[in-house]
Structure 1
């Protein structure tokens, strides 16, 4: 089934104005509605095409960014309109450091995890509810990822906006993925490797892994209505924490789909961006004030400023190297029309889908045999639908020209290296780096099975 399957009661689509419905399937099934439900996983990739993938990704975007029900982490408030000033569904998800604890401890029950010793008691309750984010670092890819704590990108470099403020990153996972990890004791190093020795680890159907990028907003940016905003307790490197208003500028979404017969995770990757982030190379629009591009600057695009070989805080001149996928752009236009008709004041109409990516291979409910990382991107059914999937504000410095090994510039190409935490084992973890955070319980520090 390729359409949007409701996993909770659906709300009626609001409004009919806007572009033609590009999300109507050949079977006359509407694949995109402004409602808080998820899309079906791509369980039959032979008929899965970019347009359907884009419709499904936008449906997941609506669900993940729907206002959450108070007191119920990860559950949408179906009485609230899209864009209501409440924490979103994904903002009430759990962070990796709340699952992968020191010494391989068992995580707290869903919705009861601690918020961190460096969070003042006065704001801890707001953090637990999702109303207040916590930003500590500027690293997108590190074993220290937690809530909104990361400053560096996957290559260890920092992205700075036009005011020389760093962009912050966070990772979050939903209850389905939490239950999979906890239920199989994948949070502890040795039990994780023992599990992986007999069956492949892969995020299951219904799981979500989120990576978000936030920038500190000026007063004008906040009042513009063009950003999804939230309050964050920002702890700069070596500095004192303070509450700031931040705006969402990028969002990676990995919708898990279990494992295919090759041990790959048959899920769906998508990356979204705020429309004012940066222009396509040599295509800046004079009427747009970009968050990460200055038309008067002569700086080389997508290049960090370094002194003596080390990056220093300096404005990053960003451009988008690859254009948005044409199907993604068409579905974005339709989705923005739905938002404009049903939630005209919501900032989500100023976000776009850059592209999607998924492995070709039919979904199999039978757990496949484990494989070593890196996983192959090519299955018997062929290579992924695309070889490029980058977000200019999440993988800024990985953007290269097509002549520079561009085939390795994508979510899947990077996450193919995800493996178990045991340094002596090579078992792959279904295109997810989360499992590499597991620590050994006291007395379990010996070599695990390989």
Structure 2
């Protein structure tokens, strides 16, 4: 039985009743503003109200979609970073080889902009570096003590194994590498600024004081509630209720937000070209070995991670373009379909392609030496005609409840390019079978709503027993030298974000900190 048709029928009934209409329900009020929390649309005036009960898992998925819409709302030209344009409309469906307007998350700061040597602070949020349709990529950089002795090229390796040891790149069916970017929102920036965590020395000192207090008192230190409070101990990442966020505009007054995005090169001619209208598009320039920039290349968004922190907790979610591993189906599709998915040649007999462990290189998977090695800093890229394609499939199916929410929002957005994107899932504490011994944050797949949550463009090579939580459980501020126990007193050290590890020491001489550019651009 074709489950996609079943899902379509159920979704349409839920949306419109028994009769299908030709007008989509409206988006929630002020959709350009991210929801403050799962159960609360806008920030509270003073304190977060007590909840009548836990939200449902479906509400978490709705929260993820609304966050996705707000992050991809058009940026207000000449506004501050992250400022949406309330008068704009979401990117339309236009099957032209042209870039779309700049969106909110693209104007957020890159970690490399925030974590300059402390001697170069203050850094100001201000306006983005560009508001045009062409921009330079903002890849994640790798900092610290590298396990293998050499730093890694930014933006081309998959940056998920740990903060500074990535896994190798992904090669699509056109033999082009996927590219990766990372940005962080205003509240995260203000947190780093408020407590001086752009300096690794400050982080380490604050962590030492936090641990001493937690061990002595048997509880976590009280967080600072005002500028006059003691903030010398490490402070929890922002949920949106903090005093230092009070003066932010409504569109920025949420908790920690960080984005990780994956892009593909759009092939516009030759055999089996891409259908540009099915992608959110951006012209990007990539660094050349001599430090200069290559010519602009039209890219299509294929993967999108969101990490948000709210009073409810850590709420990671992940989205993909619908054609990544199987051709997306939609009713009354105004665009032609591609000949094959982005990341595999297609299945047989009308079924999607399937590979052991979710990937295949030359017919092999899950054996040593198959996964491409990560590029080290300064390495030239393998020429296009010598690259091995990575065939990718999805190991864990998208849950039915997620598919239903996808149909709802894809219908709401049916006139927008964002209707060609889908939520793969979200990870949060288990709402169906609550665990009274649930650890802090998302203490792992064993206590969360899912054991597997993987984006095929960003965690291609670890699709079994892997998730946002399993990866980000290894993220701590600098100064944490051993894994803290899952006890409430250490909860605030489980920051679930690797970005603080990019901070440099203010006691060391300032050095050039440009994100490494010594890797070749797209040929």
Offset of residue 219 of structure 1: 1.2
Task: Report how many aligned residue pairs link the two structures.
Answer: 371
Q: How does 1:245-284 map to 2 (within 5 A)?
A: 245-257=298-310, 266-279=313-326
Q: Secondary structure at the match of 2:299?
A: strand
CA distance in 1, matches of 2:189, 2:285: 25
TM-score after normalising by structure 2: 0.63
Q: How does 1:235-250 map to 2 (within 5 A)?
A: 235=287, 241-250=294-303
Deviation sequence 1:59-84 (CA, Å, 0-9, x none) = 11111111010112211111111116
Offset of residue 391 of structure 1: 0.4
Matched, 1:190 2:205: no
Partner of 2:76: 69
Unpaired segments of 5 or more residues in structure 2?
1-10, 17-25, 40-50, 93-99, 145-150, 162-166, 211-232, 241-253, 328-336, 348-352, 363-367, 374-381, 432-438, 485-492, 511-523
Offset of residue 218 of structure 1: 0.9
Offset of residue 179 of structure 1: 0.7
Partner of 1:226: 278
CA, structure 1 residues 180+21, in 2 after alignment: closer, same or farther (shift >3 Å)? farther
Offset of residue 143 of structure 1: 3.6
Q: 2:236 aligns with which of 181, 197, 201?
A: 201
Q: How does 1:168-183 map to 2 (within 5 A)?
A: 168-183=179-194
* Further displaced range: 352-361 or 46-55: 352-361
Q: Secondary structure at the match of 1:209?
A: strand
CA, structure 1 residues 178+276, in 2 after alignment: closer, same or farther (shift >3 Å)? same
TM-score after normalising by structure 1: 0.72
The CA RMSD over aligned residues, in Å, is: 3.7
Offset of residue 289 of structure 1: 2.0
CA contact (8 A) 2:198 2:504 kept: yes
Deviation sequence 1:399-429 (CA, Å, 0-9, x none) = 12xxxxx2xx110111011112347576735
CA contact (8 A) 2:478 2:501 kept: yes
CA distance in 1, matches of 2:443, 2:52: 13
Offset of residue 191 of structure 1: 1.1
CA, structure 1 residues 308+78, in 2 after alignment: closer, same or farther (shift >3 Å)? closer
* Further displaced range: 93-102 or 77-86: 77-86
* Further displaced range: 287-296 or 174-183: 287-296
CA contact (8 A) 1:252 1:270 kept: yes
CA distance in 2, matches of 1:228, 1:97: 24
User: Could you say which structure has the greater relative contact order, defined with CA pairs below 8 angstroms and 6 or more residues apart?
Assistant: 2
Offset of residue 166 of structure 1: 0.7
Offset of residue 38 of structure 1: 1.5
Offset of residue 20 of structure 1: 3.0
Offset of residue 141 of structure 1: 7.9
Q: 1:110 aligns with which of 121, 125, 137?
A: 125
Q: How does 1:5-154 map to 2 (within 5 A)?
A: 20-21=14-15, 32=28, 35-42=31-38, 47-72=54-79, 73-83=81-91, 85-103=100-118, 105-111=120-126, 127-129=129-131, 131-135=133-137, 142-143=142-143, 149-154=155-160
Partner of 1:326: 400
Which protein is bigger by CA-based radius of gyration? 2
CA distance in 1, matches of 2:290, 2:12: 49
